[in-house]
């Protein structure tokens, strides 16, 4: 990691995808500058803002004012907050709002919110008129470091999470760090799980830096910007190498196969479990499962759990409030996961901290036995 200095007030990460290349701006005050930044990059002069009832009272007026100052005509749609908004019903509502606003291909859909809004609005942007411009203004740490970057969009069904969607890259990501000050501690911790993930995938030095500097990241300032920028750069590198998840991009799913199964098991009830918490538990399980298969040292799993626990994240299935369905039901959710190919289970496992790899054809019997062992 580079030294943290006061000069790190703003960072730019470029995602070099040829004709679909775009910038990620990271720093303070970006919502107030959104109109100027969007107008400099897009030809269109209309925008449909999609947000939710938690974010709208805080930032919608400022975003609209910024767009209007740049001569961009803005309409807005405010949706219910929460994972259950990623549904067919709300997708239709968003598409209708975008069409009603007469947004054309060079105009933009703007997602103002966390990962739910980004995934939903991005899906709509990808299918309305067979694709319109898309701008991400992520308002949670999780969405700033993960879901706003890379072009994966989608909705949930009763079969599982994110099983219906498209790849639709944004044209710009504005990660305004000021908005993170309004997050609850729980939401910030959940986003931090995705930050830690980048170190655990293939950047052991970054994970070690987080172990030493996580308090400063939580406190804000230059360390927070550095952590977000490092995470966005890490994701950009993977996306550029494998945009449509045919190979190494699957590494970004470290912890997600277990985590998604736990989210499905709690019916996406955010009172019990939010995405980042599921990922935190999932990353511990992935390291423990790797140790069970003699692929990694049990000490690595203990180190991962110790760090996630010290920042306040859940690390065990038993940390989830309420009862969980039996291991067999969790296994069914895993078998429905997008990372299953030709009926064979694919997991992201590890040989140690920062040494993750894609493991194809993992025996389902081993997974089920492990889940029964870890089930509370």
Q: Which residue has the tokens 């599921």?
A: 278
Burial string for 181-190 (b: 16+ CB within 10 Å, else e) reads eebeeebbbb
Q: 61, 50 in Cβ contact below 8 A?
A: no
In whole angstroms, what is the distance from residue 64 CA to residue 357 CA?
44
Which of 54, 53, 58 minimizes the C-alpha distance to 77? 53
Q: What is the rounded CA–CA span in Å between residue 291 and residue 201? A: 16
Instruction: Single out the residue of 295, 320, 316, 318 nearest to residue 304, CA to CA.
Output: 316
Catalytic residue positions? Answer: 130, 152, 194, 235, 245, 249, 253, 256, 260, 275
Torsion angle defined by CA atoms of residues 328, 332, 338 and 340, in that order, rounded to the nearest 10 degrees: 80
- C-beta of residue 137 within 8 angstroms of C-beta of residue 114: no
């Amino acid at each position: 990691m580079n030294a943290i200095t006061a000069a790190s007030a703003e960072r730019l990460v470029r995602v070099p995808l040829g004709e679909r290349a775009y910038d990620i701006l990271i720093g303070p005050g970006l919502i107030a500058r959104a109109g100027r930044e969007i107008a400099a990059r897009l030809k269109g002069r209309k925008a449909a803002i999609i947000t939710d009832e938690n974010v709208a009272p805080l930032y919608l007026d400022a975003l609209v004012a910024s767009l209007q100052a740049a001569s961009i005509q803005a309409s807005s749609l405010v949706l219910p907050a929460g994972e259950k908004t990623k549904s067919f019903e709300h997708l239709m509502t968003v598409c209708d709002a975008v069409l009603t606003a007469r947004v054309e291909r060079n105009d933009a859909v703007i997602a103002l919110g966390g990962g739910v809004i980004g995934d939903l609005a991005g899906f709509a942007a990808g299918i309305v008129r067979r694709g319109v411009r898309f701008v991400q203004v992520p308002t949670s740490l999780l969405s700033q470091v993960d879901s706003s970057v890379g072009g994966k969009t989608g909705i949930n069904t009763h079969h599982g999470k994110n099983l219906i969607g498209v790849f639709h890259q944004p044209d710009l990501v504005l990660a305004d760090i000021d908005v993170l000050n309004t997050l609850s501690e729980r939401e910030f911790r959940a986003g931090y799980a995705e930050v830690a993930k980048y170190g655990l995938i293939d950047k052991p030095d970054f994970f070690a830096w987080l172990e030493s500097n996580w308090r400063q990241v939580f406190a804000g300032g230059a360390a927070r910007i550095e952590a977000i920028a490092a995470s966005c750069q890490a994701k950009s590198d993977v996306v550029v190498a494998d945009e449509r998840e045919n190979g190494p991009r699957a590494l970004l799913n470290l912890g997600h196969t277990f985590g998604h199964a736990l989210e499905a098991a709690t019916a996406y009830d955010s009172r019990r479990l939010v995405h980042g918490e599921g990922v935190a538990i999932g990353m511990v399980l992935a390291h423990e499962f790797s140790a069970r298969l003699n692929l990694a040292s049990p000490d690595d799993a203990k180190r991962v759990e110790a760090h996630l626990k010290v920042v306040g994240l859940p690390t065990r299935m038993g940390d989830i409030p309420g009862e969980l369905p039996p291991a067999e039901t969790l296994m069914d959710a895993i078998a429905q996961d997008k990372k299953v190919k030709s009926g064979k289970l694919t997991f992201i496992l590890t040989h140690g901290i920062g040494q993750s790899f894609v493991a194809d054809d993992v025996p389902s019997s081993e997974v089920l036995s492990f889940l029964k062992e870890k089930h509370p």
